[in-house]
Amino acid sequence: MPLTVHREHRREFTVITIIGEVDRNEAPQLVENIDKAFQNAVPKLLFDLSHMSFIDSAGLRLLVGACDKARKCGGTCALCCLSPTPRKIMDLTGLAAAFDIYPTMAAALAGFPPESPASRTLL
């Protein structure tokens, strides 16, 4: 499935919705949307992964880099709505610990605490 990326502002967040597969060939489209999100003074990024079916190491680097950059700028970065495949990839690589992960977009936008590792094992 080709990559589609939507970027919108919801409350104080820039929500980047990723649809399809993120790999090195599709990465430039995601980079463009991430770069535009950093035009805000203090970026508050929220990646909606509900429709992301695959992510390779290039895509993972982009997400980690975006979150690192956002935090260095005094902003925030989080993931929400992980479907089973991205969740498994995050867990297997150990990168789940690098992100605030929310079960739903509503939970993230409302400022609820992110999921804990214990809560993920109960799902």
pLDDT in tens, 22-70: 999 988 889 999 999 888 778 899 999 999 999 999 999 999 999 999 9
pLDDT at 122 over 70: no
pLDDT at 120 over 50: no
Higher pLDDT, 120 or 63: 63
Section 108-121 average pLDDT: 69
pLDDT of residue 121: 40
The CATH number of the domain where 68 resides is what?
Answer: 3.30.750.24
Q: Within 13 Å of residue 4, how many CA atoms lie on the same side as its CB?
A: 5
pLDDT at 119 over 50: no
Q: What is the tally of structural domains in the chain?
A: 1
pLDDT of residue 97: 85
Confidence of residue 118 (pLDDT cuts 50, 70, 90): very low
pLDDT at 116 over 60: no
- How far, in Å, CA of 4 to CA of 90, rounded? 21
111 burial class (0-12, 13-18, 19+ CB within 10 angstroms)?
A: exposed
pLDDT in tens, 64-101: 999 999 989 899 899 999 988 888 998 899 888 888 99
Tokens of 62: 């982009």
What's the domain range around 85?
4-122
Closest residue by Cα to residue 50 from 94, 108, 119, 98 = 108
What type of residue sits at position 83? S
